[in-house]
Amino acid sequence: MPQLLLELFSEEIPARMQGQAARDLERMVSDRLKEAGLAWERLEAFAGPRRLALVAEGLPAAQADRVEERKGPRASAPEPAIQGFLRSTGLSREQLEERDGVLFARIAKTGRPTAEIIAETVDAVVRAFPWPKSMTWGSGTLRWVRPLKRIVCLFDGRVVPFAIDGIESATLTRGHRFMGPGEPFSVEDFGDYRRKLDEAFVVLDAKDRKARILERIEALTVEAGLEVVPDEGLLDEVAGLAEWPVPVLGQMDPAFLDLPPEVIRTSMRTHQKYFAVRDPRTNGLAPRFVAVANIEGRDGGAAMAKGYARVLTARLDDARFFWDEDRKVSLEHRLEKLKGVTFHAKLGTMYERVERIAALANAIAATVGADPKLARRAARLAKADLATGMVGEFPELQGIMGGYYARLEPNSALPEHDDQGIPEDGTEDPLAGVEELVLAPAWWNGLSRAQSDAIADAVRDHYRPQGPNDAVPSAPATVAVALADKLDTLVGFFSIDEKPTGSRDPYGLRRAALGVIRIVLANGVRLRLREAVRAAAGALAKTPSLRSADESALERESLAFFADRLKVQLREEGKRHDLVDAVFALGDDDLVRIVARVQALGAFLATEDGGHLLTGYRRAVNILKAEAKKNPDERYDGAPDPALFRDAEERGLAETLAAALPVIDAELAREDFEGAMKSLAGLRQSVDAFFDKVLVNDPDRDVRLNRLRLLSQMRDAANRVADFSLVAG
């Protein structure tokens, strides 16, 4: 069957946009072909530095003939309405069908040639393509990521004729900018297209380019007795920069290895797109690197390697200068500079933010098992590296460089003291008993080596986790600072009504909330979210430059946001989001306890007893709602009167409830949620028997009210464990 080949050839497409562009092209073309009723056997899109391409195999030569039915007005409608419908269909009144008083038109449509549909499809897709950034050029009106130069569009071996902004479809494309043939060349179909591109030094498929890069890097490093530092993100990027990728092993000055390895790797990766190389014998960085060229070197790449090394040397010279200069000033003394750094126009300076984070870390330190003094000091230093030259040059290293500089602070060289950080001469902490934290000079420098290292680790790791695959901090001081940092971010932006909307989250609030959740759950931290949010709001309120916020609304919205993020987290783990709602409805804000309840509830509902009890619960709730609607003045919240029991089944349910409630309450108090679920399951037989034998709506009003109170008691017993009304299914 016929084949479609499409290529959109342009100037260089940014590497970061290529993968999504291929997916968008495949989606948009397939959607429009489906709308036209065209099927295919295979459809695949490709993206590279200068082209987007698509192949569709097995398309029909034309649409199938079809009959389209359109519903019109009623037969009794005014004549103008009927005439308008006739004009829109091109039929006469006699050609309409009447069914149940409504007019219908059946319009026979002859299938159009597929080539015509392809021409319209490509035009529509190109004009509506969702590039993150696009441009116009010359006198045209078309917007594309870079100037569009050529369009190849072949169907069944023939050109599909159309033009977009003066660019006519043809069979001509180009190869590699430098190594390919100087003139455009013609292609006949996808197989011919791919073969000729390969001969013209262009690897079409990004997967093939990445495989080629990895294969050649491994050959180079193994021969040198080294191994590359894996970097999937960089691999994706360089595969989008080179049509004919050629890895080259280069050498740098070994003297640079005394810089922090993160500095070397960041300089290589961010600025030069080089892969770092390590020595497997020491697991440390080797004075080598791998660059990916877009051209074959006549000398095997030796000249290119020297050029790459010269550029890297210049970058690392800058890094060494910043490293040497930054170490001349302590982090403590850099805090003053943060007064001139705006965090957000409505949330004050970075200095004020540091004050809030330090106060919050101090407040929650005991909850996470951290020394408040260490947590407070680490929080004070956590953002100080933003004022360093190294972080100014390499923003990706914030936190990491702060950890290095904190480890080099003068106090780390002082004599050892006891584990509490109190000097042996009994010197008191000047801040002891001070309720409000003020960013004054360091309270004292008397820290043990272990305490200094704990502070440096907290400064280094407090941004973590920054993504779903990032490690979660576990050291107590780090946990305190990391939680404080994320809570201040989230509550701060919520207080100025800068909440995420749809896919937009410019301040990373979803990431911050998930970070809090992951830290709390991974470390079993019994943090009360409501209290933590109040503490963060209280720190905000003490910032003089900020306007006051509605704290009750702030607390409510923040907790709801955490609930939504927890549902996302648990859903990714295979748990049901409705169970999170059912547990959150109890008003609990201890994430560890909430997750334990959710797990126990999920296991309980998966059992036969759980399913039957849920059915009985819903039946009870429906009866209570119906009766409350009929008799709004009645109340069912009192205890049932045993003297009014007439049936053994209602007496049995009452006795079962009386025995189970104290047990359930005790099990919930000691957080034995599985035990509470089992005790709740013990109600099943009594509930089933009650509904089988007892008529709730008894003619005797007192008996009816008594039975409704019994159902209310059963409902409330279940709701001690979770709000079962929110459980789906």
For residue range 226-250, what is the model confidence (pLDDT) as tens digits?
A: 999 999 999 999 999 999 999 999 9
- Phi, psi torsion values for 673, nearest 5 degrees: -70, -30
Q: Which of 149-158, 213-222, 720-729 has the lowest mean pLDDT?
A: 720-729
Distance CA 31, CA 20 (A): 16
At 122 the pLDDT is: 97
- Higher pLDDT among residues 486 and 421, named by residue: 486
- Choice between 503 and 489, residue whose per-residue pLDDT is larger: 489
Domain count, the chain: 5
Is residue 369 pLDDT above 60, yes or no?
Answer: yes
**Full domain range(s) for residue 613:** 602-726
Same domain membership, residue 152 and residue 255:
no
Average pLDDT over residues 301-324: 95
What's the pLDDT score for residue 427?
38
Domain end: 326, 357, 385, which one? Answer: 326
* Residue 582 is assigned to a structural domain of this protein: no
408: which residues sit within 8 A by CB, 6+ positions away? 327
Verify that 401 and 265 share a domain, yes or no: no
Cβ atoms of 9 and 185 within 8 Å: the answer is no
| 638/704 same-domain check | yes
Residue 532 maps to a domain = yes
- Summary mean pLDDT of the chain: 90
pLDDT (average), residues 237-265: 96
pLDDT at residue 425, rounded to an integer? 38
Q: What is the pLDDT of residue 89?
A: 87
Residues 28 and 160 occupy one common structural domain: yes
pLDDT at 424: 38
Q: What is the pLDDT of residue 576?
A: 82
Would you say residue 272 has pLDDT above 70? yes
Chain centroid to CA 513: 11
> What number is the average pLDDT over the span 180-199?
96
Report CA 436 to chain centroid distance, whole Å: 36
Query: Residue 555 belongs to what H/E stretch?
Result: helix 551-572
Tell me, what's the pLDDT at 728? 82
CA nearest 354: which of 336, 372, 330?
336
Q: Are residues 187 and 336 in the same domain?
A: no
Domain CATH number, residue 615: 1.10.730.10
Q: Which two tokens stand for residue 243?
A: 């049509």
Average pLDDT (273-297) is 95
CATH code for the domain in which residue 28 is found: 3.30.70
Question: What is the value of pTM for the model shown?
Answer: 0.79
The 10 Å Cβ neighbour count of residue 90 is: 9
Which residues, including other chains, have CB under 8 Å from residue 38's CB and lie 6 or more apart? Answer: 59, 60, 63, 114, 117
Average pLDDT of the residues in 320-336 = 93
Residue 215 banded pLDDT, cuts 50, 70, 90: very high
Contact 47, 13 (CB under 8 A): yes
State whether 32 and 171 are in the same domain: yes
Task: Say whether both 237 and 137 belong to one domain.
Answer: no
The last residue of one of the domains, among 550, 570, 586, is: 550
* Residue 377 resides in a domain: yes
**Distance separating alpha carbons of residues 81 and 667, to the nearest angstrom:** 70
**Whether pLDDT at 430 is above 50:** no
415-422 CB contacts, 8 Å cutoff, 24+ apart: 416/448, 416/449, 417/446, 417/447, 417/448, 418/448, 419/448, 419/450, 420/371, 421/371, 421/373, 421/374, 421/446, 421/447, 421/448, 421/451, 422/446
pLDDT band at 684 (very low <50, low <70, confident <90, very high): confident
| pLDDT for residue 503 | 80
The answer to whether position 593 is within a domain reads no
**pLDDT at position 629, please?**
86
Provide the sign of the torsion angle of the four alpha carbons 101, 103, 108, 113, taken in this order.
Answer: negative
Q: Which of the pair, 94 or 15, is modelled with greater confidence?
A: 15
Q: Given a cut of 90, is residue 617 above it in pLDDT?
A: no
In a shared domain, residues 379 and 450: yes
Dihedral-angle region of residue 283 (phi above 0 means left; psi in -120 to 50 means alpha; beta otherwise) = left
**Each residue's pLDDT tens digit, 371-429:** 999 999 999 999 999 999 999 999 999 999 999 999 987 543 333 333 333 333 333 33
Query: What average pLDDT does range 598-627 have in this prediction?
Result: 88
Is 556 part of a structural domain of the chain? no
Tens of pLDDT, residues 496-522? 999 998 888 999 999 999 999 999 999
For residues 224 and 169, state if they share a domain: no
> Would 213 be classed as within a structural domain?
yes
- Count the neighbouring beta carbons within 10 Å of the beta carbon of residue 645: 20
> What end-to-end distance do the CA atoms of the chain give, in Å?
47
Q: Is residue 221 in a domain?
A: yes
Residues 360 and 267 in one domain: no
User: Looking at residue 355, what is its pLDDT?
Assistant: 94
Shared domain check, 344 and 233: no
Percent of the chain topping pLDDT 70: 95
Q: Which of 43, 77, 109 is the last residue of a domain?
A: 109
Q: Are residues 311 and 443 in the same domain?
A: no
Q: Which residue has the higher pLDDT, 23 or 602?
A: 23
The verdict on residue 590 lying in a domain is: no
pLDDT(643) > 70: yes
